[in-house]
Structure 1
Amino acid sequence: MSYVLHNRLGSGGFAIEAVLELADVPYRLELIESAPGSHMPEGAVAMNPWRQIPVLECPDGKVVTETAAIQFYLAEKHDSVRTGPNLFVDDSAAFYRWGVFLSVNVYEGFLRMVYPERYLGDGSADVSALRKAASARVGDAFKLIEDVLASHPYICGDRLSPVDIYCAMLFSWHRKRDELPLCTGLTERVARHPLVAPVWRRNFDHWLDRKWADADQT
């Protein structure tokens, strides 16, 4: 049996699908018919009571949710996620650190911008203020990643790791990129990887402001 990845096009499951492709791990993709930014359909509750994706069904029947947790799990189970030929985890401490950092500080920031009603209680708070604060916080997080990339080409060292896939996906959703050339370069390298590019195009070319997988896009 292989893994089953539940996702919807343009959503966070891209970071898992790309890792599975790069690691040559067998899986089946089950797409949920729902647009990015919309609320998950009722059927998603059966897979994840928190009503978020991605959801990974494992061959042994276990279910794993949360993008970073799924990446950690796959790295634990498959040598090809840790030692190549396409993915490497040179520094496990950095891998765990930055995977959680992206989930808590970046992914959650985007959720505040897209689904502000989840965080406003009775709705009396200022939606625009929440979105502005969340956007600023996400920008600060990417500035920290930019500083990390000044020391080595990838977040965890000299080679591509799953956390770079995660970061590239999130950064492509960010609109304020002018002062972040290293994050931009990382995203371009990830999106244009021969094994990642088809997955990227299918997920993102129809709604992002840039076709990152195409070298002639600026």
Structure 2
Amino acid sequence: MYKLYGSPGSGSASVEAALAEVGAHYSVTRVNTGEGKHLTEDYRAINPRQQVPALELPDGTVMAEGSAMMQHLADAFPESRLAPLPGSSARAQHDRWLIFMAVNMYEGELRKAYPGRYSSDPEGAQAVQASADAYVKRHYEILEQTIGTGPYLFGDAMTMADIYLWMLASWMDQEWLANHCPNVFRLASVVRARPRLQTIHEAHFG
């Protein structure tokens, strides 16, 4: 049994979707970040960075970093075929774009949502937010150019990278996304419509 620590609308959405898609037995423990539940000492013992998500594996060990969890689940459930074989050129490309999204787009979204954390100047938050918005959009436009006829990032088969992109796209202004990155918008819509993800999407994004 896997235990996912997460909060609605947070980065735990992609991991919850991944757990559902691979067919894992799992439970979800809600850590409401809006109420500061991730900042308690009890949660610090689970994840020293006091961030969600965190994932307890069946052997009782705990890992953090959502993109790493998704790579782990792909390898732990190879029959799901949610990532190419480790060591292959295809896997290298999959991991490249998954990490591209994690370290650029996700990180930029944090700066958009919490600009005050990124400046010691109380007057600097607005500038941080504006810069982050432009930064995130630039990386969406880069990713837009890599998506072909799809329906997924690498053709006919959905991967963990597609699930991660669905989550990120759900945080974006949908009108901007449809107008500027129609391939990304279409891909996210296809992922959202998958039977195992519909309920998760509603729970996290309404």
Q: Using structure 2 for the length normalisation, give the TM-score.
A: 0.89
Report the equivalent of 2:60: 61
Deviations 1:148-200, CA, capped at 9 Å, x for gaps: 11364322333100110101110111123121111110111111111110111
Report the equivalent of 2:135: 137
1:44 deviation in Å? Answer: 2.6
**What amino acid maps onto 1:156 in structure 2?**
F
- Say whether residues 1:168 and 2:182 are aligned partners: no
Report the equivalent of 2:195: 194
The number of equivalent residue pairs is: 198
Question: Following the alignment from structure 1 to structure 2, what is the Cα–Cα distance between the partners of residues 80 and 200?
Answer: 24
Report the equivalent of 1:105: 104
Report the equivalent of 1:211: none
Question: Following the alignment from structure 1 to structure 2, what is the Cα–Cα distance between the partners of residues 57 and 39?
Answer: 18
1:124 deviation in Å? Answer: 4.5
Deviations 1:64-98, CA, capped at 9 Å, x for gaps: 111111011112221134x2xxx353721122101
**What amino acid maps onto 2:192 in structure 1?**
A
Long gaps (5+) in structure 1: 206-218
Long gaps (5+) in structure 2: none
1:106 deviation in Å? Answer: 0.5
Mapping 1:72-87, distance limit 5 Å: 72-81=71-80, 83=81, 87=82
Report the structure, 1 or 2, having the larger helix content.
2
Structure 2 CA distance for partners of 1:64 and 1:156, relative to 1, 3 Å: farther
**What amino acid maps onto 1:67 in structure 2?**
G
Report the equivalent of 2:121: 123
Question: Following the alignment from structure 1 to structure 2, what is the Cα–Cα distance between the partners of residues 142 and 24?
Answer: 30
Secondary structure of 1:195's counterpart equals helix
Q: RMSD between aligned alpha carbons? A: 1.9
- Say whether residues 1:10 and 2:9 are aligned partners: yes
Residues 109 and 134, structure 1, Cα contact 8 Å, conserved in 2: yes
Deviations 1:31-76, CA, capped at 9 Å, x for gaps: 113339x783324322111111110000112211111110111122
Mapping 1:29-40, distance limit 5 Å: 29-35=28-34, 40=38
Secondary structure of 1:5's counterpart equals strand
**What amino acid maps onto 2:8 in structure 1?**
L
Report the equivalent of 1:213: none
Structure 2 CA distance for partners of 1:136 and 1:39, relative to 1, 3 Å: farther
